[in-house]
Structure 1
Amino acid sequence: MDSQIITKVQFLQRQAASLLLYQSVLTGQTGIAFLEMLQAIRYKDADARGCLQAYGNYFKSLASENLNWEEYLILQMLRDDNPFSRAAQKHDFASLPASLIAATQHDLQILRSLYECSSALLSEWMQCVANLPVSPVLWYMETTEIENIGFPQQQYIQSLQQSEDWTDVVEDLATYYRQCGTGLFAEYKALRWHSGEFIGIPHPDPIKLDELVGYESQKEALLKNTEFLLSGYNAQNVLLYGSRGTGKSSLVKALLNEHNKFKQDNSQQDNFANRGLRLIEVVKSELKELPLIVEKLREASQKFIIFVDDLSFEEDDDAFKALKVVLEGTLTSRSPNVVVYATSNRRHLIREFFADRPTPRDNDEVHAWDTMQEKLSFSDRFGLTLTFAPADQSTYLEIVRHLANQAKIAIAQKDLEFKALQWATRHNGRSGRAARQFIDYLKADIALFGSNNPTSNTNILLADEN
């Protein structure tokens, strides 16, 4: 094996071992596979079989990530949670310790060396080590926009790819961390809280606000409140309550995919998620940990909506007490980057029974009416309450027509409305959810069986459920 290759490999190993802050960049599956491949080929009498196995693991890992080595390394840098990235989120660059900046420059220089060790170069080395007639298959993808990566990340990836000296981009990197954060919050725009930790949601609901018809005043109020949050003003906690299927949950989820409608420029950069909005789903069973969740989010650079779907409580529910603390506050100041958006089918979130109403019996609470009023007024602790009334026939048909147009369903409006009303009669009533289910069914039915099939459409819609 060429001694120059061995020298280069051993140099890269020393470089990787001397990282001061960014060690975890190489602790992922692909980073480990990269280091194991260097280890396999570092000796003159390296085992060819072991080297080829290490190369295969490296290739498979990159293919699983669907990334080139260069893009993978940069993404790991941008997401890395270390003393520099944490400090950059909280403080101006000029106030950061000089030693921290020097350590970052040291590491960026090393990471640039590892970046230059491309898959093409490794393939050539592997051919030499294993005495192959041709180099092994090379993993390479044309540079395109990386899936599930927002505009700021794409912008900084391109910036680093075009820079030959990464020590010059330290301040830009600090700006990035301040804008986009690190770790899971930089990688995912939607997460859930489960068993004491945040878990990223790789494929959040792609629904957009323009798919939701009706309830325009509620939609605009929620958009404005979310814009307050993103712009650094005090935003309100929001309760969305009303009939089932009216789109309350969809409206909250669609915020991640929304642009700022109050500005003229609706560029990709202006997307709410790209501006730092994150949605944290918390189920009712986990609500007792809500104060802890808020404290964990307090120091992050992003803005967070804690999303609680289908909210209601039983008497003496610990979740009720935890949510009350977050809504009303304690001696700890309210976190300005966190709001709660909750949906419910109940105006009064705590279930009340007739037996709860005060009557003059022995051993009754003296101020029982006060206790009952506290239960009934809990929903008032949300700063903003949006009401979703049941859809009437006109609204229901408007939703159907809108969804049919988006789905490009070519059918006469009279027939469409007739089938939609029959669907509502035989299924879940008139609602946005029923309209969506109807359109999904109709689109698939027409695609598979054709609109003129006698066993299709109307006959199926009118079929007796029994």
Structure 2
Amino acid sequence: MSSLNSQIISQVRFLQRQAASLLLYQEVLNDEIGQAFLSLLEAFHHGESSILNCLKAYGIWFQVQAKHRQTWQDYLITQILRADNPFSQQAQQISFNQLSSSLIEATKLDLKTLQTLYQCNSEKISQWLRSIAQLSENPTIWQPQPEQLNKIEELPLKSQFSTLENWSDAVESLADHYRKFGTGLFASASAFRWQQKQFIKILNPDPVHLNQLVGYETQRDMLLKNTEILLAGYPALNVLLYGSRGAGKSSLIKALLHHYRDRNLKLIEVAKSDLKDLSLVVEQLQGVPQKFIIFVDDLSFEEDDDAFKALKVVLEGNLTARPQNVVVYATSNRRHLVREYFEDRPSPKDQDEVHVWDTVQEKLSFSDRFGLTLTFEPADQNTYLNIVKHLAYQGGIEISPEDLQFRALQWATRHNGRSGRTARQFIDFLTAELAIFRK
């Protein structure tokens, strides 16, 4: 073994000991890139006796960086900023001065250790592999294009870490970051789905934006005002968006995610079949700095539906106070949400229930438990055409206004009637048609 390779293996062993010594931040190395890095160090540890393993381990490490479009150093800082451990959990709940001194010291020590791993950059590892495997040149390192880098709220602190001489000096700034942006899963994405009793990240949420939605400006402004109240930390109202199909009720809620993305707003989609878990969902959102909209789409209930009772508890509250960082936004085509039949209405022959009108009223008044109800009337012809013109302008469609109006009205007649959804479908079809058949 050459003296150079001996020095490399000595440095590798030091890095392995450093990684093993982490007290609070072990989880930063648990994802694919971190595990590939540790596997690469292990392959280097055996040096010249396992050159093929070194080459394979480097290939895997390169591949996972390319898969996630992250360099090793970018990954490491991102994991630190999203870490879910006793320090980050407590830092988002209490001020820095109230944190345990031992917890702060442990974090400082871990940050110093992680900085050592950070300094082992891709260029250095490429040089190590060339030496150990006796290659003619350094292996290619993964480096994403600037436009591929994730532009998220963590960038200012990322920049601080990349230039700081001693990472342990950033411990107070890190605590402030956790208090502002949260930790763990909720710091890693903006949209989630509750499924099989856990939160699942939605990596590519619907890209709809508010400027694409026209025709219901009053309803939009009321929803924005209520959401501003939520973001400001005051008790906001649960909202029912009721009205005709295709009016853009769901799209309006989903557009809030993009409109307020830089203000720590999160959207959690809960299917009607999972409403029985709603109390469990809300409990897990308490005490974190993010603000949450629980989104329930196309809501309606049958009689004696367990989901009806679960949502009623969350809307009305129980012994556990509803957290101020959570609201429910639901859409429905039914004003009263609970399906009602003529046979449900009481008559003199009814003998089964003494106060049958009370039961009827409970069903009919369920929607009143939402603090705010926004009604979306069916689109008339002028509203429909205004939506079409707006979408055509945004899409850069070059067609005469008369032809656009004629074709839009034809489309509504032959398809799903006048609505925002129909307008969007028409514009999508027209865009493709003009692009393909009028070249």
Q: What TM-score, normalized to structure 2?
A: 0.97
Structure 1 stretch 132-141 or stretch 166-175: which is displaced more? 132-141
Distance, in Å, in 2 between the alignment partners of 1:333 and 1:442 is 51
- Out of 283, 291, 300, which is 2:271 matched to? 283
**Separation of aligned partners in 2, 1:68 and 1:253:** 31
User: Which of 356, 372, 376 is the aligned partner of 1:384?
Assistant: 372
Q: How does 1:198-347 map to 2 (within 5 A)?
A: 198-258=199-259, 272-347=260-335
Match of 1:375 in 2: 363
The answer on 1:397 being equivalent to 2:398 is no
CA distance in 1, matches of 2:192, 2:284: 14
1:92 paired with 2:80, answer: no
Q: Indicate the SS of the match to 1:365.
A: coil
Q: Output the amino acid matched with 2:382.
A: S
Secondary structure of 1:336's aligned partner = coil
1:190 paired with 2:178, answer no
Give ranges in structure 2 of 5+ residues lacking alignment.
none
Q: Distance in 2 between matches of 1:365 and 1:113?
A: 74
1:351-396: CA deviations, max 9, x gaps? 0111111122364200000110000000000000000000000000
User: Partner of 2:261: helix, strand, or coil?
Assistant: coil
In structure 2, the residue matched to 1:8 is 11
User: By how many angstroms is 1:142 displaced?
Assistant: 4.5
Please give the secondary structure, in 2, of the residue aligned with 1:397: helix
Report the 3-state secondary structure (helix = DSSP H, G, I; strand = E; otherwise coil) of the residue aligned with 1:202. coil
Superposed, which structure 2 residues align to 1:114-193 within 5 Å?
A: 114-144=117-147, 146-147=149-150, 149-150=151-152, 152-193=153-194
Instruction: Map Cα deviations across residues 198-226 of structure 1 (whole Å, 9 max, x no partner).
Output: 00000001111011001111000000000
Which residue of the partner structure matches residue 412 of structure 2? 424
Q: Describe the superposition over 1:168-217 as per-residue Cα deviations: whole angstroms up to 9, x where unpaired.
A: 11111111111111122111100000000000000001111011001111
How far 1:144 moved relative to its partner?
A: 4.9
Sequence identity (%)? 59
What is the identity, as a one-letter code, of the residue corresponding to 1:220? D
Q: Which amino acid is the alignment partner of residue 83 of structure 1?
A: P
Q: 3-state SS of the aligned residue for 1:37?
A: helix
Measured against aligned partners, the alpha-carbon deviations of 1:320-348 in whole angstroms (never above 9, x if no partner) come to 00000000001111111100000000101
Residues 7, 144 of structure 1: CA spacing in aligned structure 2 closer, same or farther, 3 A cutoff? farther
- The one-letter code sitting in structure 2 at the alignment partner of 1:372 is V
Within a 5 Å distance, the mapping from 1:436-455 to structure 2 comes to 436-450=424-438
Q: 1:66 aligns with which of 66, 69, 72?
A: 69
Of the three residues 60, 78, 95, the one matched with 1:57 is 60
Does the 8 Å contact 1:193/1:282 carry over to 2?
yes
Report the residue type matching 1:15 in the other structure.
Q
Structure 1 unaligned blocks of 5 or more: 259-271, 452-466
Per-residue CA deviation, residues 232-265 of structure 1 (Å, 9 max, x unaligned), is: 011000000000000000000000111xxxxxxx
The number of residues matched between the two structures is: 436
What letter corresponds to residue 66 of structure 2 in structure 1? A
Match of 1:47 among 31, 37, 50: 50
- Offset at 1:291? 0.5
Q: Partners of 1:407 and 1:183 in 2: how far apart?
A: 38
Is this contact kept in 1: 2:48–2:133, CA < 8 A? no
Q: 1:343 and 1:432 mapped to 2: Cα distance? A: 15
- Over 2 Å off, 4+ runs: 43-46, 141-147, 360-363
Deviations 1:65-118 (A, max 9, x none): 111111011111111111111001100011100011101110111111111111
Decide whether the 8 Å contact of 1:228 with 1:234 is kept in 2.
yes
| 1:401 positional shift | 0.4
- The whole-number CA distance in structure 1 between the counterparts of 2:203 and 2:144 is 21
Where does residue 266 of structure 1 map in the other structure?
none
Report the alpha carbon displacement of residue 44 of structure 1 after superposing the two structures with TM.
4.9
198-207 vs 35-44, greater mean Cα deviation: 35-44
CA distance in 1, matches of 2:143, 2:84: 28
Q: Secondary structure at the match of 2:229?
A: helix
Tell me, in whole angstroms, the C-alpha distance in 1 between the residues paired with 2:202 and 2:185. 10
Separation (CA, whole Å) in 2 of partners of 1:146 and 1:350: 47
- Measured after TM superposition, the shift of residue 141 of structure 1 is 2.5
Question: Structure 1 residues 407, 44: CA separation in 2 closer, same or farther (over 3 Å shift)?
Answer: closer
- Other structure's SS at 1:101 match: helix
| Distance in structure 1 (CA, Å) of the matches to 2:148 and 2:55 | 31
Letter in 2 for 1:81: D
Give SS of 1:20's match: coil
* Contact 1:146–1:154 (CA under 8 A) maintained in structure 2: no
Alignment match, 2:421 = 433
TM superposition shift of 1:153 = 1.3
| In structure 1, C-alpha distance between the alignment counterparts of 2:228 and 2:178, rounded to whole Å | 21
**Which amino acid in structure 1 is aligned with residue 178 of structure 2?**
Y
- Mean CA deviation greater in 199-208 or 136-145: 136-145
Q: Distance in 1 between matches of 2:142 and 2:369?
A: 56
